[in-house]
Amino acid sequence: MAHRSWCAEADGQPSNERLEFLGDAVLGLVVTAHIYAEYPDLPEGELAKVRASVVSAPALSEVAGALGVGDALQLGKGEDSSGGRSKPSLLADALEALIGAVYLDGGMEAASRLVLTLLADRIEDAAAGPGGEDYKTRLQELSSQRFDQLPVYTVSDTGPDHAKHFRATVSIAGVERGQGEGRSKKQAEQAAAQLASQTLECSTSGRQETPGRQESQNGGGGATRRDGDDA
């Protein structure tokens, strides 16, 4: 958390710039490996756009601000008095330094958990934007056109709070249309919506299907909670 402005006033104490350098590389690798594995249909150019939006200084500074990193910064008197604790560049750099420190202390596994915990939602949002596919929106449009109803999602989860795994089932007009899994509720719903929308698009039947007619039954398990479409 030591900014160079503080180091200049602290008898040559080392700044966080070397940790920032390391953390930047770790951050890039973790995000790149994650989106490569999680979004196999995205071409290289779109993957690059998703990564760039997630590891950008504005995005990192927002995350750092939410964590209260600014309060922990060690700043020189001039930098502190000029609002350094809320400067996006300083916050983003400090977050990268923090990632670098976690990597040195706990290795890549610990650093990966930290990065994905902090950025998973932003990665999903970026991948579902212009560079990705928002399957829930696509399914909502198909459902309205073909059935005049909205999809209904049922979500269950397993595992401890810090490492939950989610499973989603989407139904339309009382008929199950798809299932999906993920490390977040949103990711599981997107996966279920992807399967359902692709199935509907590939269907050669133009007629509306009768509610209650089950096309597939993949089974489930565990306690569930029901959520309406909350895209």
Crossing angle between the packed helical segments 185-202 and 88-127, to the nearest 10 degrees: 30
What is the distance, to the nearest Å, from the Cα of residue 189 to the centroid of all Cα atoms in its chain? 13
Instruction: Name which of 166, 172, 214, 212 is nearest 190 in CA terms.
Output: 166
Q: Has 24 been annotated as catalytic?
A: yes
Catalytic-role residue among 20, 79, 96, 134:
96
Contacts of 29 (CB under 8 A, 6+ apart): none
Q: Cite the DSSP H helix spans in the chain.
A: 4-7, 17-38, 44-54, 57-67, 69-72, 77-81, 88-127, 135-147, 185-202
Which one-letter DSSP state was computed for residue 209? Answer: P
169 secondary structure, DSSP code: E
- Classify each residue of 79-95 as buried b or exposed e, where b means 16 or more C-beta atoms within 10 Å of its C-beta: beeeebbebbebbbbbb
Please give the Cα distance from 43 to 23 (Å, whole number). Answer: 26
Task: Check 24, 124, 176, 189 and give the catalytic one.
Answer: 24
Cα angle for residues 100, 108, 164 (degrees, 5° grid):
110
What whole-number distance in Å separates Cα of residue 193 and Cα of residue 138? 8
Q: Judge whether 96 counts as a catalytic residue.
A: yes
Catalytic site residues? 24, 96
